Chain A
């Protein structure tokens, strides 16, 4: 028996003569959590796709338990004991939990080949046992549709266990779940470890990595940089290896100089989403909104922006009472909303970078409804340059860009409108350190130019590092306001969990 459950040896992979994986070796021991970190484009996902059999390595080999493994698709990878829990889960929504777990390998009553009858009872019993085993209380008969993202994720883990997988890959598993659910996930990871399952953990969140990982591998530009015991590494060391240079201070230094009130919200309420919210926003200020996922933060800013109208309450812009019934009205009042999910609400993935950048601003780039195409191209090129969007041309399709660059396109599109009030809803989710830093610098310079900024973030350090003031929401209510000298993780968490129990 080999010491390692998985060995990927000297893997090479090129796309169209560009090496994206360059002689990378990865060795994973049974029962260890092995984190892989690197900037977007470092080759993490390509490497994992090779491991899952989605891509084929140009050279190099994969050993499982010291034996050479040959497979060419995810199904065969699965039968080799490799399971992946994807960042974006795709459950069959109208199936029961038990059916989902046994899809493709149903327990059968009578075996008539394709016409066999599924033994639902046995499947449910088996599922119940599996769920009990890892301590989740869910009914095997519940529909997947009814489950939260975190629960769906747990079902995937259950599935991996039931397949007696030896290696479980988790790609950004905490990107869509609450802190509490993260704790639960970590418990399940411990459980997997206790069963000698190796977990490959991909994440951008350093604190999580240090909490959960035993070993850390750093990739950069498709090359293996280092594999080290997690206890021998720290945040700064890893970031330095990831970006190949030192980022001394990730949050830019800023002087606080709030000006007059540009936005005031009074008693804003939308049924079942948020209730009686009042706050003021000054020019030149970055106001952080903290709280747990589901606290109503996104709903609140959507209410202000006219995406979903509040039921009651008033909005004043520069002292003037304003009705915002549609985003169009908000845009005219020079508000910008960089939404939480760029794929669903920020970008049109079917078109080009240029068309995405100019969509909000088209009325200004046209005469009598006819677009001045030369002017449009110039505007797009300027934004690409200004925000340092790494793209070959404005005509590139948006889905060919990395996450960080896509996010910059969303920013470019809104900054083109020259807004006074800029709302950023989790602007750095799922993007790499370099791009994060670029966005932080941009926010600082916008605030310096007198723009009023609202920042929503699930990462408390980010919130504390950038904001001048933080308001905290919990269960749709404003539970606290903190000035800069009161910023601590504990304070924010205390306010964020104020109503949590009461509302459930």
Chain B
């Protein structure tokens, strides 16, 4: 027998089944987390001695960190409905700048740090101006700046890597705290934590989502869309500057050709993490898991002796599967 339900109850249950109460987003993110655990488990079984060793696990975190930092910035940009292709080149330029001011006995340590972060932020700021007030699609603005910045890096270094860096500069990325935890990992955790805080707890973060979710509605609701757009590219640029500094410190040189393709790894981490490519939906911790998955696969396949050529195929496949999941989730709503 069909029991008579009140209007309210029927509507509520319909809403629930349409994905109101039963939140598809969280399901999808849970999905990617399970994928992550499965990959971990498989690798642990296949290689219990090498892969599962604590030093290797810490190593994975270390490998994830530079991409993770870039991906955190990329998360802001993609959530706002844009994309930033210039971060890889920015890594190179800021690395060269930092290295050039990090020769032993020349400048105090804060000089290369400030210059790298400042240069990165400035590039991001210009990207933001182009997108927000030039009304140029972000893909095009940052495709242009990607090429320009790469040129600047090559000019600044005369096409040669910058060597001869101070020990203290090398210590920025190369050092450990509590003997085991690399500085890189500490940076990654801090950046992810701060990004997560900003995105979930602050008015600014909510406005980033609002701009990506529906720009016109955001404007009508009093959100300063232009300011938000400039800000997200500046954040991405700033974090690219930090990543450039850390990379230069880690490889103990400022290399003008470094960072090529890093923007794509960062975008991949964000997408695998379930952030919508059209903006407005997704979670910061999705990006963290995305960056970890990329690192785990690279590390695990290395240990298993899979050729780096095959690794590319696996990495690419995972990106496509992640987007498929993303679209399925949307199609059901």
A345-B216, A371-B202, A371-B203 given as contacts; is B15 within 8 A of A360 (CB)? no
B134, CB-defined interface residue at 8 Å: no
A residues 337-392 with Cβ under 8 Å of B? 337, 339, 344-351, 355, 359-360, 362-363, 366, 369-371, 373, 390-392
Query: Which residues of chain A are near B24, meaning CB under 8 Å?
Result: 397
How many whole Å from B217's CB to the nearest CB in chain A? 5
Task: State A167–B298 Cα separation when bound (angstroms).
Answer: 58
* B19 contacts A397, C-beta separation under 8 Å: yes
B209, CB-defined interface residue at 8 Å: yes
User: 1/0 per position for A318-337, CB-CB distance to B under 8 A?
Assistant: 00000000111011000001
User: 1/0 per position for B204-223, CB-CB distance to A under 8 A?
Assistant: 10110110111011111111
Of the residues B2, B18, B216, B276, contact of A400 by C-beta under 8 Å? B18
* B222 contacts A392, C-beta separation under 8 Å: no
Query: Which residues of chain B are near A401, meaning CB under 8 Å?
Result: 15, 20
A15-B17, A359-B206, A371-B201 given as contacts; is B280 within 8 A of A305 (CB)? no
Of the residues A327, A363, A391, contact of B220 by C-beta under 8 Å? A327
* B280 contacts A351, C-beta separation under 8 Å: yes
* B20 contacts A392, C-beta separation under 8 Å: yes
B317, CB-defined interface residue at 8 Å: no
Q: Which B residue's beta carbon lies closest to that of A348?
A: B213
* B213 contacts A392, C-beta separation under 8 Å: no
Tell me the interface secondary structure of chain B in the complex.
helix
How many whole Å from A32's CB to the nearest CB in chain B? 31
A297, CB-defined interface residue at 8 Å: no
Query: Which residues of chain A are near B302, meaning CB under 8 Å?
Result: none
Task: State A413–B224 Cα separation when bound (angstroms).
Answer: 17
B residues 1-35 with Cβ under 8 Å of A? 2, 5, 7-8, 10-21, 23-24
Task: State A104–B40 Cα separation when bound (angstroms).
Answer: 47
A430, CB-defined interface residue at 8 Å: no
How many whole Å from B108's CB to the nearest CB in chain A? 32
- Max chain B Cβ within 10 angstroms of own Cβ: one of A345, A347, A350, A397: A350
How many whole Å from B224's CB to the nearest CB in chain A? 6
Of the residues A41, A362, A363, A373, contact of B11 by C-beta under 8 Å? A41
Task: State A351–B205 Cα separation when bound (angstroms).
Answer: 13
How many whole Å from B219's CB to the nearest CB in chain A? 6
A307, CB-defined interface residue at 8 Å: yes
Task: Report the interface size for chain B: residues with CB under 8 A from the other chain.
Answer: 42
How many whole Å from A328's CB to the nearest CB in chain B? 4
A-B contact count (CB 8 A): 134
* B222 contacts A331, C-beta separation under 8 Å: yes
Interface range, A side: 35 or more
Task: State A203–B222 Cα separation when bound (angstroms).
Answer: 34
Task: State A462–B23 Cα separation when bound (angstroms).
Answer: 38
Task: State A392–B18 Cα separation when bound (angstroms).
Answer: 12
Task: State A391–B19 Cα separation when bound (angstroms).
Answer: 12
* A347 contacts B214, C-beta separation under 8 Å: yes
* A392 contacts B209, C-beta separation under 8 Å: no
B residues 171-230 with Cβ under 8 Å of A? 201-204, 206-207, 209-210, 212-214, 216-224
Query: Which residues of chain A are near B203, meaning CB under 8 Å?
Result: 362-363, 366, 369-371
- Chain A to chain B contacts (Cβ below 8 Å), 29 pairs: A15-B18, A18-B10, A18-B13, A18-B17, A41-B7, A326-B222, A326-B224, A327-B220, A339-B220, A345-B217, A348-B209, A348-B213, A348-B218, A350-B213, A350-B280, A355-B209, A359-B221, A366-B202, A373-B201, A390-B11, A391-B15, A392-B20, A392-B21, A393-B21, A396-B21, A397-B333, A400-B16, A400-B18, A401-B15
Q: Report which A residues bind B (CB closer than 8 A).
A: 15-16, 18-20, 22, 41, 221-222, 305, 307, 326-328, 330-331, 337, 339, 344-351, 355, 359-360, 362-363, 366, 369-371, 373, 390-393, 395-397, 399-402, 413
Q: Which 3 A-B pairs give the minimum distances between C-beta atoms?
A: A396-B20, A348-B213, A400-B20
Known: A350-B209, A366-B203. 7 other contacts (CB 8 A): A41-B10, A305-B220, A339-B220, A351-B209, A360-B222, A397-B19, A397-B333
